[in-house]
Structure 1
Amino acid sequence: MGEEMRQSLRSLAPSMSLWRRLDHVLVENKKLREQLSSSTCSLHLREVGLIESQHQVQARLQEIEKIYGSAHIGLCVFDRFLRYSKVNERLAEINGLPAREHIGRTLREVVPEAAPKAEALARQIFETGQPVFDVEFQLPGLVNQDSNRTWISQWLPLLDEDGRVAGINVVVEDVTERIAAEERVRRSERMLYAALDNTPDVLAIYDRNRRVEFINSSALRLSDRPIGDFLGKRDEEIWPEELTCRYVPQLESCLSQKKTVEFEMTAVYPAGATPRTMAMIFVPLLDDQGAVYQVLSITRDITDRKRAEQELEKLVAERTAQLEHLASQLHGRNAQLQAMALELTQAEQRERRQLAQVLHDHLQQLLVGAKFNLGAMKGRRHRSPALKSELEQLEGLLNEAIDTSRSLTRDLSPPILYQSGLADALKWLAGEMKRKHGLQVETSLDPAAEVTSEAVRILVFTATRELLFNVVKHAGVDRATLTMQREKNMIRIAVQDRGTGFDPNQTRARGGPSEGFGLFSIEERVGLIGGRLEIDSQPGQGSTFTLLAPGDSGEPASVLENGTGLDTRASRLRSGPTTAGNAIRVILADDHGVMRNGLATLLGEQPDICVVAQASNGQEAIDLCREHKPHVLVLDVAMPVMDGVQACQIISREMPAVRVIGLSMFDSADLARPMLAAGADTYLSKAGPPNLLLDAIRGCVP
């Protein structure tokens, strides 16, 4: 058995060797297949990458083509024969020919005017292979053939694989407007330097190291020195030390602080000459980063102006003294006129009382006596009926005469006015208006609102009666209201109705018709005692008449808060000198020079008030306020160019910190209301006491 196994194994040995060889071949074949598969995959990936790269290149080319076609400058490519092989839309527009019609045509065929110069450039580039930059062409424009356009072109060679020039890439840009703008700038610079050079002021420009870069002809004429003595040098190298020490610190301050410096100085040059007063300004010139790179210096000789100012100040002082003297006289005349107004009222009332006394003591007594005698006659028996009837008629006439006399006595001088005071007298007057005229008057009378002066009390009563008569005559209603109240040291009486109304301005413009005469007479008389009458009325909307009169004193000069009859916000402003360390900066605006000078002199005498500028119209006032930023603007109402109301509106809107005081020769509330509505802090009359204006100015500054 063992031998058979061995024989079998020997017979199988060749087969086993063959199988081993076959197995080795199979293994090798498998390795080859794996290598082939890997190579195939790698090749496939390379093909995919190549396709993606081709897509990217294609997209990039399309993007470049898009940029090329939409560029704002002209672009084209010429072949070796100067034929267009590529043109963008901008160059086609410049040449006036569609882009597709350029292709294959020569430059001479498309732009014959540029051909000679362009062909010479092309030959140079093909020979040297070097680009040519900034080549200028001047050719007629497409719109206007009579005017040339200027073009700047860049010529760049295109090389083939062997490094030879195969074509030319050209870039064209229209620079006509840029060249014109540059020329305008150069012309402006020439004009500017000509202006600087010929101005009478001394002008100089310093660099940041204080060295002179420019100086005008005026400086050369005044100094009698050549320009070489100035350029590139500092002032210490040019002028004496006693002169430079006066202004070089200000120049250095301008450089370090980056702020304009203005000042005046007295200079003596050359030595022994007459001193001159100079006004100097240093203005810093800043670059884009905010650093000072130059300083402009302006020097002006103001000697003559200073001398004229001194003479003017002397003249103003003389005129002011004259005006003060005249004002003193006028004040005295006003006081006399006010006293005369009160005296006139008292004289009228004395005549009324005397006439009433005559009626009471004589006429009424005679009438009563006659009535008694008539009664005695009636007591007798008369046979004649006719005589009896006549006696009865005569008695009726006597009774009517007695009633009329009594009524006339009360109208001329109501006893209650002297016995019980103003409130009771007005209440009695309301009853009389109902009894005589059918006017129902509703009253609201404050007993504490009493007038101490008999003359003023009589005038107020008479004026109120006239106002109620106006309601009866013109309002067309049978009801009215009468109120009286106290406002500090003033008595306010108001008569109001809901009648036809009227336009007070038109009534004044017509010169005062019959219905207005009594009102304006009241205005005048109340104004003379330091009061006023306000009229608020419109057609169809009724009327309100407000009477203000002094209540505590019979002296007209001191009964009102502002001496003008206007209850403005000035009475609510703090008075007295300011506690601030700096003076109150004031601008005066009035179209009358004498008035401005008078106000300036008045304010100039106050140690805490400084007049910084004066304006003659509303627009100047606005400009000066923007420049000087004052604390207070004293603003006239009526001025040319722009009135005070318009100016006040603009200033209140743009510069709310500026306090405005309105002034006018008129004390009408019709003028006060627009000014106060426009933003004014108060409204005063020019005829008022000066102290009121000073108090108002000081009251504007906290």
Structure 2
Amino acid sequence: MWNTLLHPDDRGVVQTRLDRALQEHTDFASEYRIVRTDGQVRWVSATGTGTYDEQGRPTRITGICADITDRKQMEEELRRSRDELEQRVQERTAKLRESEDIARRRLMEIEAYYNVAPIGLCILDRDLRYMRINERLAEMNGIPAAEHLGRTVREMAPAIGDKAEELAHIIIESGEPITDIEITGRITAKPGTAWTHRSHWFPIKEATGQVIGIGVVVEDITEQLMLEAQLRQAQKMEALGTLAGGVAHDFNNILAAIIGFTELAQDEISEESRAGRRLERVHTAALRGRDIVQQLLTFSRKTEQEKEPLRLSAIVSESVGLLRASIPATIGIRFYVKSESGLIYGKPIQVQQVLVNLCTNAAYAMREKGGTLEIELSDYRVLPPNGHSEGIEPGPYMRLVVRDTGVGIPADAKEKIFDPFFTTKPPGEGTGLGLSVVYGIVRHHGGQITVESEPGKGATFTVLLPRVEEESLEQRILREDACTGKECILFVDDEEMIREMGHELLERLGYTVTSTTSSLEALSLVENDSSRFDLVITDQTMPGMTGLDLARNILRLRPDLPVILTTGFSHLISQESARAEGIRATVLKPLTKRELAQVVRKVLDE
């Protein structure tokens, strides 16, 4: 399809460049013409990056195409105008008046295009003073067009002053144009607004060939570069996700055995004994390892966390521990917890991301002189008369406050700090996405974030997250004690350690258990007596027959037999697709004894 769009005159050259880029594993970049279905010819600038299989063969190319027809037309128009004017000046004949009229009409046409062109245009004299400038370029500079005239590039756009003088010197000496110059900076009149421009510089000559001025065509490619960066980030995350999935499967199987056998040993040893305390340490460490794997999968988007009751003080304490290792020693951290018991309903990784982003920004504001970072957690209640006026519903909340003693936030920037891509950091040091992501997470959790700041007096960010009532300990104990039974369960896992562990855990919960490491043997057991079992628990990734295929075969024999699918991680199965196959529940290993008991009881009672 793409080949058919190429202009016949450009097809061979573009295909050769693309083939060379794929062969040499380099980025593809080219400007060429395409022919649209309506017959219209357009110029495009294309950049792309190839994706390759394990043998290095290209499988696809991903990139961005930008329509540059306006730029090409303008360059061609300026080139033709310049050539015509030079020819008329050289002729100096009796038709001077007619030539002047033609030139005047041409200049009027150019002037008209100047005023509506979607790209920046200007004409500079040899000293880089603005002789002409259109509204688009003046808008890019953040200063009215009239204020540019007669003033130098360095005065009006200091960020490109040095580069402009360097380019002007080369053009005046060589008489040749210079194209594709990229410059990144900030608009002086709009603090916090970053830009990247691509410019094309060409000489304006008199009849003798002497350069008397310089024409400049400027494109704002800020958004294009952002899209390219997002594309590269997406490709990195895809690679990380593939790696994370493989690591998670193997590591979760290992953790399943550690957690399971530790809990079995704990049942046989007093909690107060030295061995009992050490086993509890092992158990805690294994659960922490499970959380890290879950965080890795969530971060790489291989799995989505569901909202759950969270003790915010625990997440904040853990995050503060991580931050101490990354924040400079010149910045002191003070952590005040005024409420240990408050629960919220949310996603752990996202809540942690809110705190880390706010603290990272606070540390950046104090990077030069140091200071104090204060983190405060407390209960808060929004009363009915003030609820909606504050933008949130009345009720109990957890209040998280992050306060710094840094440089503060300018008044004109404070209203924009939650806008995507807005940043006051220098180019290359910030994306302008951190606080907008924080804002989105807080709002998604039904909360609110506000900021108070004055230049030179630091900043205070306050986050309110809805608090939920904690279930009583007695209710939890009663429910957990009820998670036992007398039913007959078939347990299948190709890892011998996990089979042994699962078998014994289920027996201790009161169930009659048959276990095997072979999915084929499991199917044979059901075929021989389909009424024997009340529940099947099977691993997903097994040799010979996967857990999903085993479930399909079992459900063909006995459609009412409940099946629970367990997995260390598999991209082939999700909760939704498993439900569609008739599987009652899909759980991610490793599970604790309590979690296993609850899911088994829930499925059996459905």
Is the shorter-chain TM-score for this pair beyond 0.5, marking a shared fold?
no
Structure with the larger helix share: 1
Give the TM-score normalised by structure 1. Answer: 0.25
Larger radius of gyration: 1
Normalising by structure 2, report the TM-score: 0.28
Q: Which has the higher strand share?
A: 2
